[in-house]
Structure 1
Amino acid sequence: MAVKVPLWHHYLQAIRSREVSRVQDFQRAEDVLLTLLEHVHTLDPRFLVDYSHHLEAFQFALRSSEDPLDMQVLLRVDSSALLIEEQGASEPGDGPVLCRLGIPRGATGLEPWMMEDVFSASSEGSTRCCGYIMPSKVLRVLRDLLVAAIVYCKHHGLIAPGLLSAATLKEEQLHLSLLVSSGWRKIRFNIVPALRRKCDVPGLHEAWLTPGFPEGTLKRMVGHGVDLVPASAQHWRACTGYLLTQLLGELGALRGHRLDSLSILDRVNHEHWRDGGREPGLTFNHLKTVLLWACALFPAPEDWTELQGAVYRVLVVLLCCLASRTLPHFLHAERDLLQGGDLDLGAVYQHAESFARQPEAALRIHATHLGRSPPPRVGHGVKALLQLPASDPAYWATAYFDVLLDKFQVFTIQDEDRVAAMQSIFRKTRSLGSMDT
């Protein structure tokens, strides 16, 4: 008799069955885009082609969502030769520090970046700086180059008709959008000019001296630095997207279901919480950040050996963030990734809690999976418990999340110290009237 595959693994198998085709779709689309950008470089050597996107295909295969992908176009300029003037955020937690890219007076070798199409002379009478590289001007030049490259590549048969169009390019945005056809799938890329800056990343040191990631992770990553991308017409900001994708790749080197848990939640989010992507909601990047926090909070390998338990470790962190309406950036914890968008956090929380209480309905892929659902894992009174870290950051700890796992009946750890720590936190929270006993 055939062995019955548990529902969670059925769902994971369905997701994995699509990974090869998704990688192939990405690579075909990327080839079209790289062909285009290579001609952009030929037209204007100030713009470089970044070939270091091997992790993007891996990340695209994990996703079910079709949110746009960033493709950086590097600026051919030595960041150490520039005056990087930090402006600061207007309020704590507003986001990455803004900066301007200044050209020092008397600088040599920076003449291509002092041309009028990308440069504005300083009107401040500075003795050090003669002017600035302007993001708005760089984007305008890059847009014109992309249009010219599309025309050239189509005329010379380098890109097949219908694969992409310049109609989606918009000057007023902080990126340039291109829709690339790949088989039956269309992939939207956000083309972003970027300056690679070799510098220290304080959040990386704070986060990666933890046992939740492979040994040597910090050493492998500090050399990359950060990328500066447009933040406004005049200002640039630090972007850590590449570093976070690297961290995701590092997790793939570990045994267990860390990445599988991300794939499952992204599929549920896309299909059920966002109605197949037709409704606004959480993005893959939101869920990726939640996974990174979960890996830091649950560093023990045994936390990730069982699929259902692995999903719930990410899910309890997500629920806590939604209940407290705060998702800290992983490398800049003062930044809240849930603010500044059009998210209906109350509705998203209801979706996530309903899934946590009774996940079986969302895991049924076809009629053969129909059957009676088990009773809910926990009652509706868990939200007050989930909000505790917002009032006391001390609760943002493994023991607190172990309490949540126990509430959802998925705490199976036998380690006596962890059980004792979990029970201690539980005793502190029993006075909450909304907790189920």
Structure 2
Amino acid sequence: PPAVPLPRPGAPPPAGMAVQVPLWHHYLQAVRQDFQRAEDVLLTVLERVHALDPRFLVDYSRDLGAFQFALRSSEEPLDLEVPLGLDAEDLLIEESGAAEPAGGPACCRLGVPTEGAGLEPWTANDVFSASSESSARCRGHIVPGKVLCVLRDLLVAAIVHCKHHSLIAPGSLNASSLQEEELHLSLLVSSGWRTIRFNVVPVVRRRCRVPAPERTLLVTRFPTGSLERILDQGVDLVPASTQHWRVSTDYLLTRLLGALGSLPGHRLDSISILDRVNHESWRDNGRSAGLAFSHMKMVLLWASVLFPAPEDWADLEGAVYRLLVVLLCCLATRNLPHFLWPGQNLLLASGLDLGTLYQHVEHFASQPEASLRIHVTHLGCSPPPRIDNSVKALLQLPASDPAYWTTAYFDILLDKFQVFNIQDKDRIAAMQGIFRKTKTLGSEES
């Protein structure tokens, strides 16, 4: 896409944008409208679901879905949350003790207390399982597997109703994948000229403070007040299995991405470009397994913290390479930390061939021109590769010493890729200090 920053969700375009980049602005609007046409179909169905069973609510906050859809090139499913009409604070959160794969927060069960008003609809047999253990506090549990079954049946009935009453256009919705046994309900929705897959996910809202790492440091990297406002909204609980729920931070992370989009520079351009390269080149137009947009989102969030200066994002090539050096390091060390729970490794349970994936990303970082050519007539002499053995050795360092996960270390990598353009004397001095340390390590090993 053209090198123009995307507007933050719900914000007017920057002054003069319509004059400077009308084509890109119109393209963005078209993409968002395309998404919202498809979403309108699904919301119409969910309104009928709510009419049939008031326990399931309709979430009309669409900015983030359209925002994320506009950034992506791949056709991964988009989650559409269906909030349950209850508050997790009224329930008993019973952690199972088994953490999520790769070090995430523990899964839990949602118990219904014996003393509690307004919870009778959630003790019906279709969503509730009475406790076999004698407890003075807990009547039983709200079971995610049962909730999904009820929601699936409601979706089928709602779709039939909407089609019969011509509330949705013929052919606009395909429910054939609803029979799949998953922890979400998949629907294909047509927007007119393309089909979008939505994963309908029941969620329970939970008001709890997210324990962001180094919160004071992170606050300085985001627009004033935005990090606190976003993280204090709490998290969602979504199905982790037929019996357990888990924490989902997808909404919070996308909100943080939107906050970054309000800053000047090419942060969102860089993720959009790399997502396209990932889809078309590294994943062979989606035919091969590989990185998801959620991985790219995490890489951008870390890169925005590690590269704090506006100058880091002023140049498009430099912005892309800031994501690339973080991604290469994560693949080389086989560890992509979750932004809010750094102890969780998002690559550990991914099942990806990380060696092959690293080779793809390394080849692009070394000679990006080949992947960015549009037609064979654009072929020409390529610049020499930017990666040598010294860079490969550097990429491994955070695996043995997490202290290398710093701006100074990644500045060295940028310098190796010839895209370090920062004049700050303190950052240059810090980079030189880390470089001397790596040289000392190299001489000791030899």
Does residue 63 of structure 2 align to residue 28 of structure 1? no
Identify unmatched segments of 5+ residues in structure 1.
1-6
Give the drift of 1:125: 0.5
| Aligned mates of 1:238, 1:348 — CA distance in 2 | 28
Does residue 288 of structure 2 align to residue 290 of structure 1? no
| Aligned mates of 2:271, 2:81 — CA distance in 1 | 25
Give the drift of 1:341: 2.3
Give the drift of 1:219: 3.0
Give the drift of 1:58: 1.1
Q: If the length of structure 1 is used for normalisation, what is the TM-score? A: 0.93
Equivalent of 1:364 in 350, 355, 373 = 373
Give the drift of 1:382: 2.2
Give the drift of 1:24: 2.2
For the 8 Å contact 1:65–1:270, the answer to whether it is kept is yes
Aligned to 1:270: 279
For the 8 Å contact 1:86–1:100, the answer to whether it is kept is yes
For the 8 Å contact 2:99–2:107, the answer to whether it is kept is no
Does residue 242 of structure 2 align to residue 217 of structure 1? no
For the 8 Å contact 1:143–1:171, the answer to whether it is kept is no
| Aligned mates of 1:98, 1:254 — CA distance in 2 | 35
Does residue 362 of structure 2 align to residue 353 of structure 1? yes
Which amino acid is the alignment partner of residue 71 of structure 2?
A: L
Equivalent of 1:247 in 253, 256, 268 = 256
Q: Secondary structure at the match of 1:73?
A: strand
Which amino acid is the alignment partner of residue 264 of structure 2?
A: R
Does residue 396 of structure 2 align to residue 422 of structure 1? no
Aligned to 2:110: 101
Does residue 123 of structure 2 align to residue 114 of structure 1? yes
Matches within 5 A, 1:69-148: 69-90=78-99, 93-148=102-157
Give the drift of 1:172: 2.5
Q: Secondary structure at the match of 1:193?
A: strand
Does residue 417 of structure 2 align to residue 408 of structure 1? yes
| Aligned mates of 2:25, 2:346 — CA distance in 1 | 28
| Aligned mates of 2:103, 2:89 — CA distance in 1 | 26
> Does 93-102 or 424-433 show the bigger shift?
424-433
Aligned to 1:3: none
For the 8 Å contact 1:213–1:299, the answer to whether it is kept is no
| Aligned mates of 2:378, 2:260 — CA distance in 1 | 31
Could you list the per-position Cα deviations for residues 24-57 of structure 1 after superposition, in whole angstroms to 9, with x for gaps in the alignment? 2211110011011010000000000011121110
* Distance change (3 Å), C-alpha of 1:243 and 1:111: same
For the 8 Å contact 2:209–2:233, the answer to whether it is kept is no
| Aligned mates of 1:99, 1:208 — CA distance in 2 | 30
Does residue 196 of structure 2 align to residue 192 of structure 1? no
Equivalenced residue count is 427
Equivalent of 1:158 in 167, 175, 182 = 167
> Does 317-326 or 332-341 show the bigger shift?
332-341
> Does 15-24 or 344-353 show the bigger shift?
15-24
> Does 333-342 or 378-387 show the bigger shift?
378-387
Q: Secondary structure at the match of 1:145?
A: helix
Q: If the length of structure 2 is used for normalisation, what is the TM-score? A: 0.91
| Aligned mates of 1:140, 1:248 — CA distance in 2 | 33
Aligned to 2:335: 326
For the 8 Å contact 2:79–2:201, the answer to whether it is kept is yes
Equivalent of 2:188 in 179, 190, 193 = 179
Give the share of equivalent positions with the same residue, in percent.
Answer: 68
Which amino acid is the alignment partner of residue 122 of structure 1?
A: S
* Distance change (3 Å), C-alpha of 1:92 and 1:230: closer
